[in-house]
Amino acid sequence: MPEAGSTSSSPAGRESFGSRLGAAMAARGPLCVGIDPHPALLKDWGLTDDAAGLRRFSLTVLEAVGSLAAAVKPQVALYERHGSAGMAVLEEVLAAAAQAQVLTIADAKRGDIGSTMAAYADAWLRDGSSLAADSVTLSPYLGFESLRPALDLAADNGRGVFVLALTSNPEGASVQHVGGADSVARRIIEAAAAENSRYAGSLGSVGLVVGATVGSALTDLHLDLPSVRGPILAPGLGAQGATPADLRRTFGAAYPQVLGTSSRDILVAGPGAQGLRDAALRTLVGLRGE
């Protein structure tokens, strides 16, 4: 379990992920751009559905939006479908983002137990790993404590995690809403809040994934997101129907913690870098309320 009174730096000396993300959100705005090389988008961009097309797509997006977004979020599954060649591209993208000082969220949704979870943590959160990202998404549905290897390694290395808490897919409610006032989602949120007690500063490094289109579920389930004191990754902005105004209305007092995530709504503006940049700027203006 986390220890209280920790500083904003990891034992390795790196500033905590939450602190770095908070600074990026303050400087650039609360936008995360998903790097989602769907086959249809590759085709629309005139690219081949192979590792070469994947590389061109990914690096173009990173170069276009890297100076605007607080973070970028490569969708790991869309690299995995290309096998080892695709994963090699992902390694290159993560390295290029690190070189450009753009924070990364590997959208891998990993979750397992024991030595297997430790191996996942080692892959995505260990210094020196070719897949090391600044943070990774995790699934807690084998029990929140099953994530302990990732939670601890992230803290040790100044990296972060985003734990699935309340997703907007219709099937999610069949698990996450169970228990009513003592719902599964509430227990996940409370566990994340406890983890963030180890971090100093205004933003901890244990974030949550809460869908931008969950509507009234936060109030219906009496969920206290501000108490988490961690970042809230909110996918669903744009193509999935949520607007910046929806995010403000849905998240209320927790909105300053929200990292609004847009993928397809920005990516369809490619393949030109300027089109991608303009689309990201429009989304950013809305998130900032300008």
The pLDDT-based confidence of 181 (bands split at 50, 70, 90) is confident
Say whether 108 sits in a helix, a strand or coil.
strand
What is residue 16's predicted lDDT score, i.e. its pLDDT? 96
pLDDT digits (tens, 9 = 90+) for 110-149: 999 999 999 999 999 999 999 999 999 999 999 999 999 9
What is residue 4's predicted lDDT score, i.e. its pLDDT? 43
> Over 90: is that where the pLDDT of 211 sits?
yes
Domain span at 107: 17-285
What is residue 202's predicted lDDT score, i.e. its pLDDT? 87
Count of structural domains, the chain: 1
User: Does residue 12 belong to any structural domain of this protein?
Assistant: no
In the numeric block, which tokens belong to residue 45? 């961009």
Nearest to 251 by CA among 165, 139, 173: 165
What is residue 107's predicted lDDT score, i.e. its pLDDT? 98
User: Does residue 7 belong to any structural domain of this protein?
Assistant: no
What is residue 6's predicted lDDT score, i.e. its pLDDT? 52
> Are residues 136 and 150 in contact, defined by beta-carbon separation less than 8 angstroms?
yes
User: Does residue 1 belong to any structural domain of this protein?
Assistant: no
pLDDT digits (tens, 9 = 90+) for 84-121: 999 999 999 999 999 999 999 999 999 999 999 999 99
43 as an active site residue: the answer is no
User: Does residue 176 belong to any structural domain of this protein?
Assistant: yes
> Over 90: is that where the pLDDT of 35 sits?
yes
CATH number at residue 133: 3.20.20.70
User: Does residue 2 belong to any structural domain of this protein?
Assistant: no
User: Does residue 141 belong to any structural domain of this protein?
Assistant: yes
CA distances from 46 to 33, 62, 77, 157 (A): 21, 18, 21, 39
Please identify which residue in the block is written with the tokens 């509507």.
215
User: Does residue 6 belong to any structural domain of this protein?
Assistant: no
> Over 80: is that where the pLDDT of 189 sits?
yes
CA–CA dist 50, 48 (Å, integer): 6
> Over 80: is that where the pLDDT of 290 sits?
no
User: Does residue 102 belong to any structural domain of this protein?
Assistant: yes
Mean per-residue pLDDT, 212-234: 93
Active-site residue (options: 14, 28, 109, 148): 109
What is residue 5's predicted lDDT score, i.e. its pLDDT? 45
The pLDDT-based confidence of 238 (bands split at 50, 70, 90) is confident
